[in-house]
């Protein structure tokens, strides 16, 4: 259970961040000075710049957004790129040797076939799918995707469905997204909660 | 996450049992006097009498085993009956209005098709499948079964795969089996561990 922490504001807890394995820096909302603090820290870094339409804070030309991301590729262990971004951009990031999390964020569940096609045609190393949880069958969909694919992070957004983040993580997804003070999506766990949970799950069993 | 605690010896912790929702009493190993203590307790009760071949302690005629179970039906909320027991026995327990957990325990993973056929032809209310975890693909099997069926408890036996018990529970299985002092299967969590884990998962999120 590799804990990623997403930083979206200056109000983060350093203590919480120290418990993380990886930190995601949201270039759409963080001032450059805050991003700078994290570069050359010992933690692995993910950079992303989320569009307003995907629930982020970036408003502007796509070209400018991609150029912001490009500027940070040299500091990155992973870059998060949306599934609908041009293939050329994926290729250029890949050439730099940086890992790619290809992401699909939506306020609507597009159904199994649509998601399967994204996964089958994936351009990144890891696929991240975050869709809203509304019905019990949405949980079944998450289970089905994880039963069929690896290198997948698939979960439901929403407090009531937050446990699907744990299902995803236990099903072998490479990361679990947490917060260090300010949740970035409904249902997100805090780093401390996941840290405690991980301790319970990995405790050595003495029989 | 309805916590079941399995009692197999007199060395149980009353404090742990108080945290449970349901208690499973193993008639194959518990003395009658211990079983008697639990009857008329406020907890829901499951009765089972496990055969030696299924990892239990009962050696003897099948007819005698079923008659032991029958004796406790009147005190039961659920009775655990093995999938290969005669259909007539299932029918007679069902007539008494008691819930049935139909169980499949095996030291060998028989594969998807075999398990699917058991589920499709199920004679009980809930199906419980416990098979050994050996490969990563065994986890995929558990995910697949849970993505397709309800009223299912399916997990992998073994310390390394104990997290599949959590996957099963989060996937909607009605119970999670724990111990109150003495694990009854490799990888089983203690009641206290699951209680702490459940608290983390169900905490109200304040945003």
Compute the distance between CA of residue A61 and CA of residue A67 in angstroms, rounded to an integer. Answer: 10
How distant is the Cα of A167 from the closest Cα of chain B, in angstroms?
Answer: 6
pTM for this model (two decimals)? 0.93
Inspect the interface and report whether the beta carbons of A193 and B171 lie closer than 8 Å: no
The answer to whether residue A186 neighbours chain B at the CB level (below 8 Å) is yes
Q: What is the mean pLDDT of residues B129-155?
A: 97
State residue A115's pLDDT score.
Answer: 98
Which tokens belong to A37? 């603090």
CA atoms within 13 A on the CB side of A206: 0
Compute the mean pLDDT over every residue in chain A, rounded to the nearest whole number: 92
8 A C-beta contact, residue A152 and residue A119: yes
CA distances (Å), B145 to each of B80, B129, B184, in order?
A: 20, 10, 24
Angle between the A87-95 and A62-72 helix axes, to the nearest 10 degrees? 10
**What integer pLDDT is reported at residue A21 of this predicted model?**
87
Bridge-based pairing of strands A78-82 and A44-48 is parallel
For each of the domains in chain A, give its residue range(s) and CATH number, in order of start: 3-206 (3.20.20.70)
HEC profile of chain A: CCEEEEECCCCCCHHHHHCCCEEEEECCCCCHHHHHHHCCCCCEEEEECCEHHHCCCECCCHHHHHHHHHHHHHHCCEEEEECCCCHHHHHHHHHCCCEEEEEEECCCCCCHHHHHHHHHCCCCCEEEEEEECCCHHHHHHHHHHHHHCCCEEEEEECHHHCHHHHHHHHCCCCCEEEECCCCCCCCCEEHHHHHHHHHHHHCCCCC
Residue B158: partners with Cβ closer than 8 Å, 6 or more residues away: B132, B133, B134, B186, B187
Contacts of B157 in chain A (CB under 8 A): none
Residue B136 gets which letter from DSSP?
H
What is the three-class DSSP state of B203? coil
CB B196 within 8 A of CB B1: no
Tokens representing residue A104 in the block: 């699909």
C-alpha distances out from residue A117 to A103, A122, B27, B55, B144, Å: 13, 8, 51, 44, 19
Is any Cβ of chain A less than 8 angstroms from the Cβ of B206? no
CB distance A147–B140 less than 8 Å?
A: yes
The answer to whether B113 and B136 are in contact (CB under 8 A) is no
Q: In this model, does residue B135 exceed pLDDT 80?
A: yes
**Which of A108-112, A162-166, B201-205 comes out lowest in average pLDDT?**
B201-205
How far, in Å, CA of A13 to CA of B37, rounded? Answer: 50
pLDDT in tens, B72-90: 999 999 999 999 999 999 9
pLDDT digit string, tens, across residues A53-93:
888 999 999 999 999 999 999 999 999 999 999 999 999 99
Q: Does A201 touch chain B if contact means CB atoms closer than 8 Å?
A: yes
Q: How close A36 comes to chain B (CA, Å)?
A: 27
Please tell me if residue A6 touches chain B, with a CB cutoff of 8 Å: no
Q: Does A170 touch chain B (CB under 8 A)?
A: yes
Catalytic machinery residues of A:
105, 128
Assess contact for A165 and A176: CB atoms under 8 A: yes
B154 by Cβ neighbours in 10 Å (0-12 / 13-18 / 19+) ranks as buried
CB–CB contacts below 8 A, A to B = 76
Judged against a pLDDT cut of 50, whether residue B207 lies above it is answered with no
Confidence of residue B206 (pLDDT cuts 50, 70, 90): very low
pLDDT digits (tens, 9 = 90+) for A11-25: 788 888 888 889 999
Chain A CB contacts of B203 below 8 Å: 193
The residues facing A82 across adjacent strands are: A103
What is the number of other CB atoms lying within 10 angstroms of the CB of residue A52?
11
pLDDT, one tens digit per residue, over A102-112 is 999 998 999 99
Give the residue numbers of B marked as catalytic: 105, 128
Q: Decide if pLDDT at A1 tops 80.
A: no
What pLDDT does residue A42 have? 80
Neighbours of B108 (CB within 10 A): 8
């Amino acid at each position: 259970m590799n804990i990623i922490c997403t930083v979206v504001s200056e109000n983060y807890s350093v203590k919480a961040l120290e418990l993380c394995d990886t930190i995601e820096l949201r270039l759409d909302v963080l001032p450059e000075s805050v991003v700078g603090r994290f570069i050359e820290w010992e933690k692995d870094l993910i950079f992303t710049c989320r569009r307003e339409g995907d629930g982020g804070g970036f408003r502007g030309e796509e070209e400018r957004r991609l150029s912001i991301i490009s500027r940070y590729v040299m500091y990155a262990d992973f870059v998060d790129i949306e599934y609908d971004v041009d293939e050329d951009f994926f290729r250029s990031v890949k050439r730099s040797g940086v890992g790619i999390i290809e992401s699909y964020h939506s306020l609507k569940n597009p159904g199994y076939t649509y998601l399967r096609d994204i996964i089958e045609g994936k351009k990144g190393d890891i696929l991240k799918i975050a869709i809203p949880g509304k019905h019990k069958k949405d949980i079944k969909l998450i289970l089905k995707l994880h039963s069929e694919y690896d290198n997948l992070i698939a979960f439901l957004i929403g407090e009531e469905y937050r446990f699907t983040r744990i299902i995803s993580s236990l099903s072998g997804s490479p990361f679990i997204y947490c917060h260090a003070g300010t949740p970035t999506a409904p249902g997100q766990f805090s780093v401390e909660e996941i840290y405690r949970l991980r301790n319970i799950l990995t405790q050595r069993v003495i029989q």
